Amino acid sequence: MAIRKPRGTQDFLPEQIGNWHFIEDRMRKICKAYGFSEIRTPVFEDTKLFLRGIGETTDVVSKEMYTFSTSDDKEQSFTLRPENTASAVRAYLENKVYGKEALTKWYYMGSMFRHDKPQAGRYREFHQFGAEVLGSQSPVVDSEVICMVVQLLKDFGLQDLNVEVNSVGCPNCRPAYRQKLIEFFEPKKDQLCPTCQERLYKNPLRILDCKNETCKALSVGAPEIHEHLCEECHAHFEELKAFLHAAGIQYNLNPRLVRGLDYYTKTAFEVQYTPLGAQSAVAGGGRYDGLVEELDGPHTPAIGFAMGMERLLLALEKQGLLPEPIVESSVFVLALGEAAKVEAFKICQALRNEYITAEMDGQGKSMKAQLKYANKINAKYVIILGDDELANKEAIIRFMESSEQETVSLDTLVNRISSLVKG
């Protein structure tokens, strides 16, 4: 049987790549405007990074990681990155970036891997665009990050955005809230879904965002985090809301937004594009003031987000917001006869040296078939080289739009084409 790609992965063929470039270019542009620089980290890391950096009770770590070791070292366990924040923090520490600058603003794009149940908008290999700010605890940066995500999505033309914001507290106030939740859910424990029964003592906040209908119904009337925030978290949250208001960002408060990962503190946010249905979360993020220390670094408050690039593309496609593919015009060099072929090859190389797209036949096609191909690649100019032209050290330039022709000496041909193409 023919070998097929693994379930939950995708091939992106040339006709789709233009869309990826389109979103990536915009992402780079907006990151520049907000002062972020790009990083690239390994696609696989020491498994311990994710165990400690994401949390063993999270779905991502407990169920979805691709973990492996190599035959020469069974002791060493690696994992394909399921997200990039832990890797960014590892790189921040390993390269001692905290000693070089007081504030670090990074962004990344790349593949992430989660062994999840594949469905539309949910893949096993997917791409995230994300950013991290390390070194500030000010709600100014929380607001900047949220503004950047919203501005990017709005600039693409997406309108039905739902921006949800919450504070999940900090190690000072969360334990008491956690206890309140345990007390609230304990009497209903048997009715919770099996996952939430497990979560009850490990991570009861996660029961609040369980998608199971019974769990949803059981959590009506649960204590809300806002009533249990310490003074610092409360003030931080109030300031964040004021900044968002000042920036004209419309948002909804969602006290149930706890997000999947253990390391979040204070701000948590998610941006949904509702028409996407079940997989409507396009981007999510939050503050993680404790993560750098958790990974043995100095106390470094931080915030970040990640955006699903496939989900963004789905949303843009749904709304017809993807650009029409640009068919670049090019030059085709049509050679008739063996001697002409060598000259055609030389001409192609000379044009390519000028970064002009030039092609010639490499399959032994007839003249008719070569012309057909020239049309297919949208060649604006076809250079015709036959025995007669070669003998006179000339070539014919055929203007494909008007069907007009011009004879040029081989010496001036590349310059002539260059001025035609570059104008």
The reply on whether position 303 binds ligand AMP by CB under 6 A is: no
The answer to whether residue 53 forms part of the interface with ligand AMP (CB under 6 A) is no
Using CB under 6 A as the binding criterion, the count of chain residues that bind ligand AMP stands at: 16
Q: Which of 158, 281, 315, 344 binds ligand AMP (CB under 6 A)?
A: 281
Q: In 3D, which of 269, 328, 306 has the Cα closest to residue 21? A: 328
Asked if 110 is part of the footprint of ligand AMP (rule: CB under 6 A), the reply reads no
| Interface mask toward ligand AMP for 121-150; x: CB under 6 A | -xx--x-x----------------------
How many whole angstroms separate alpha carbon 399 and alpha carbon 221?
74
Minimum distance, C-beta of residue 260 to ligand AMP, in the bound complex (Å): 6
Specify the residue, 170 or 282, whose C-beta has the smaller distance to ligand AMP: 282
Nearer to ligand AMP, 128 or 300 (CB): 128
Identify which of residues 126 and 381 has a Cβ nearer to ligand AMP in the complex. 126
Q: Whole-number minimum distance, CB 261 to ligand AMP, in Å?
A: 7
Nearer to ligand AMP, 282 or 356 (CB): 282
Sole binder of ligand AMP in the list 52, 90, 114, 287 (CB under 6 A):
114
**161 forms part of the interface with ligand AMP (CB under 6 A):** no
Interacting residue with ligand AMP among 45, 83, 343, 359 (CB under 6 A): 83
State phi, psi for 202 to the nearest 5 degrees: -85, -45
Choose the stretch contacting ligand AMP; rule: CB under 6 A; options: 14-22, 217-225, 308-316, 394-402: 308-316
**Interface pick for ligand AMP out of 204, 284, 290, 304 (rule CB under 6 A):** 284
Closest residue to bound ligand AMP by CB: 308
In the complex, minimum distance from the CB of residue 83 to ligand AMP, in angstroms, rounded to a whole number: 4
Q: Which is nearer to ligand AMP, 262 or 361 (CB)?
A: 262
- Give the residues lining the site for ligand AMP (CB under 6 A): 83, 114, 116, 122-123, 126, 128, 260, 281-284, 306, 308, 310-311
